[in-house]
C-alpha cells in the first residue's frame, strides 16, 4: 500500500520539522494534525533529536587548554604586535612620510648646519683636525641617518625575518632622498664633493638602520 | 578574526575560549576516542593559528573551524581504521541539568543508548548529524564536508531516521 501524496511530501520534511526548521513548519504542521502515521513518526524524530542534543558535552581538560595556548604562544611570530600609526598607507608611503616628518623635526630641534658645526668642534677638541672639510658633514649625515632609523624602523618593521632588513633599507633610501635637498642648500658654500660625502654618511646611516632594524625584529620575534 | 590574522594572541585566546567547548564536544562524539579527541582538538587550533592568513574575511569562522576539525578528524579516523568505544570517564561530561539519583541513572543509560545508536551510523551520516546538532545550517555543513546543501539535507534525514531505527529514543 502506497502512502498518500500528502504523506510523501510530509515525510520529506519531517526531520527538518523535528529539528525546528521554521521553513518546514508552515507546510508540515497542517498535515500532522490530520495524519496519525506522520504525527507518530514526527514525535519519534523529535524524541530522537532531543536525546541527541541532551547528550552530555565533554569538557576539554585544563591541561589541554594550557597545552594548546602554550603551543600557540611558542609558534606566534610576534610576541607583541607593533602598532602601525598609519595602517591605511603602504610601507613605502609610511616610510616617506616618516622620513619627511623626521627631517622637519630634526631641522627644528637641531639644524643640520648646527650639527655639522658641533661635529667640527668635537673633532677639533679631540684633536682630530678635519683633513677634509666634508668630514663634519659626513659625520652629521651619519648621525641623522642613524637617528632616522632608530625612530622610523619600529613603525615599519612588523614581521620577523629578512623582510625587516629590506624595509629598513627602503626606509634608509627614502630618508636619504628626503634629506638631500636640505643638505644641498645647507652645504652651498662647499663643493659638490661635500654633498657626496654627506650622501655617503647617509648611506652609512642607512646601513646602521638595517642593523638596527634587524635587531628590532629579533627583539620582537621571540 | 582580523586581529588574530594580525598576530594578536589575546584575540586568539578569546576565539579559543568561545569555541573550545563546542568543538571538543563535537570531536568527542565524532572520534569516540579520548586520546584522538585531544590530539585533533589541539591540532585544529594550531592549524587555525598557522593558517589564519588563509581565512577569507566575511566568511563564518565556525564553518572554517569545523572544516579544519572535520578534515583532521577524518584523517585520524582513516589512519586508525578502528572504532574504539569511548570511555565516558575519560573526560568530564557536563550534565545538561541537575537530577535525582534515579534520573541520573536513567540519563546515563539513555546516553549509552544514544552513543550506541550513533555508532551504527555511517561516518558521512554521523558527521552531518553531529554538525547539525552543533547548530550549523545545511549550507555551512555543505562547505565543511564538501558537498551540496541538498546532499547534506538528504544525509541528515537518513541519519536521523537511521538513528531512530537504532533505538535512539528507547
* pLDDT per residue as tens digits for the range A75-110: 765 433 344 444 445 555 666 666 666 666 766 677
Q: What grid cell was written down for A121?
A: 668642534
- For residue B158, report the phi and psi dihedrals to the nearest 5 degrees: -60, -45
Taking the Cβ of residue A129 and every Cβ of chain B, the question of whether any pair is shorter than 8 Å is answered with: no
The rounded distance, in Å, linking the Cα atoms of A81 and A77 is 9
Task: Take residue A69 and report the three cell numbers written for it.
Answer: 595556548
Least confident of A151-165, B39-53, B99-113, B129-143: A151-165
| Average pLDDT over every residue of B70-93 | 67
Whole-angstrom Cα distance, residue B1 to residue B57? 8
Say how far apart CA A159 and CA A167 lie, in whole Å.
10
Per-residue cell: B62:
565556525
Span B101-158, pLDDT tens digits: 666 666 677 777 777 888 888 889 999 999 998 889 899 999 999 999 999 999 999 8
Q: What is the pTM of this model?
A: 0.55
Is the separation of the CB atoms in A77 and A160 below 8 Å? yes
* List of chain B residues whose C-beta atoms are within 8 Å of the C-beta of residue A12: 157
- Residue B92 bridge partners (DSSP): A59
Q: Is the pLDDT of residue B159 over 80?
A: yes
SS3 A58: strand
Mutate which: A15, A43, A76, A80, vs B, most B CBs within 10 A: A15
Q: Give the rounded percent of residues in chain A with a pLDDT score beyond 90.
A: 0
Reported as a pLDDT band with limits 50, 70 and 90, residue A196 is: low
Q: Which among A42-51, A212-221, B126-135 has the top mean pLDDT?
A: B126-135
In Å, how far is A219's CA from the nearest CA of chain B? Answer: 16
Residue of A nearest to B86 (CA): A58
User: From the list B12, B111, B164, which residue is nearest A45 (CB)?
Assistant: B164
For cell 579544519, what's the residue?
A: B68
Q: Which three cell numbers stand for residue B72?
A: 583532521
CB-based contacts of B12, cutoff 8 Å, min separation 6: A72, B4, B49
Spatial distance between the Cα atoms of B59 and B11, rounded to a whole number of angstroms: 17
Q: Which residues of A touch B141 (CB under 8 A)?
A: none
Lowest mean pLDDT among A36-40, A129-133, B31-35: A129-133
All residues of chain B having their beta carbon less than 8 Å from the beta carbon of residue A58 are 24-25, 28-29, 37, 91-94
Let me know how long chain B is.
170
Amino acid at each position: 500500500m502506497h502512502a498518500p501524496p500528502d504523506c510523501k511530501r510530509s515525510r520529506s520534511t519531517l526531520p527538518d520539522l523535528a529539528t525546528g526548521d521554521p521553513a518546514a513548519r508552515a507546510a508540515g504542521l497542517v498535515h500532522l494534525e490530520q495524519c496519525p502515521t506522520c504525527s507518530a513518526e514526527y514525535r519519534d524524530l523529535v524524541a530522537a533529536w532531543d536525546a541527541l542534543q541532551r547528550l552530555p558535552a565533554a569538557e576539554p581538560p585544563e591541561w589541554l587548554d594550557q597545552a594548546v595556548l602554550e603551543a600557540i604562544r611558542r609558534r606566534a611570530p610576534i610576541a607583541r604586535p607593533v602598532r602601525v600609526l598609519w595602517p591605511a598607507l603602504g610601507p613605502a608611503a609610511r616610510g616617506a612620510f616618516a622620513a619627511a616628518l623626521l627631517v622637519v623635526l630634526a631641522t627644528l630641534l637641531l639644524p643640520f648646519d648646527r650639527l655639522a658645526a658641533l661635529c667640527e668642534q668635537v673633532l677639533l677638541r679631540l684633536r682630530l683636525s678635519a683633513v677634509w672639510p666634508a668630514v663634519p658633514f659626513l659625520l652629521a649625515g651619519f648621525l641623522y641617518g642613524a637617528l632616522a632609523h632608530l625612530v622610523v624602523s619600529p613603525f615599519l618593521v612588523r614581521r620577523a625575518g629578512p623582510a625587516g632588513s629590506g624595509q629598513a633599507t627602503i626606509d634608509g633610501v627614502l630618508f636619504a632622498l628626503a634629506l638631500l635637498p636640505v643638505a644641498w642648500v645647507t652645504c652651498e658654500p662647499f663643493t659638490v664633493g661635500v654633498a657626496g660625502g654627506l650622501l655617503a654618511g647617509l648611506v652609512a646611516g642607512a646601513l646602521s638602520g638595517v642593523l638596527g632594524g634587524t635587531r628590532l625584529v629579533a627583539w620582537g620575534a621571540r | 578574526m582580523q586581529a588574530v590574522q594580525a598576530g594578536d594572541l589575546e584575540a586568539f585566546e578569546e576565539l579559543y575560549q568561545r569555541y573550545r567547548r563546542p568543538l571538543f564536544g563535537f570531536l568527542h562524539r565524532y572520534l569516540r576516542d579520548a586520546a584522538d579527541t585531544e590530539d585533533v582538538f589541539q591540532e585544529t587550533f594550531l592549524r587555525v593559528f598557522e593558517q589564519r592568513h588563509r581565512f577569507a574575511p566575511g566568511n563564518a569562522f565556525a564553518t572554517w573551524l569545523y572544516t579544519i576539525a572535520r578534515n583532521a578528524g577524518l584523517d585520524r579516523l582513516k589512519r586508525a581504521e578502528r572504532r574504539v568505544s569511548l570511555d565516558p570517564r575519560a573526560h568530564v561530561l557536563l550534565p545538561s541539568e541537575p537530577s535525582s539519583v534515579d534520573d541520573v541513572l536513567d540519563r546515563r543509560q539513555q546516553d549509552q543508548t544514544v552513543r550506541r545508536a550513533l555508532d551504527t551510523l555511517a561516518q558521512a551520516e554521523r558527521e552531518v548529524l553531529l554538525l547539525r546538532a552543533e547548530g550549523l545550517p545545511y549550507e555551512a555543513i555543505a562547505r565543511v564536508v564538501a558537498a551540496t546543501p541538498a546532499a547534506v539535507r538528504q544525509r541528515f534525514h537518513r541519519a536521523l531516521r537511521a538513528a531512530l531505527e537504532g533505538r535512539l529514543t528507547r
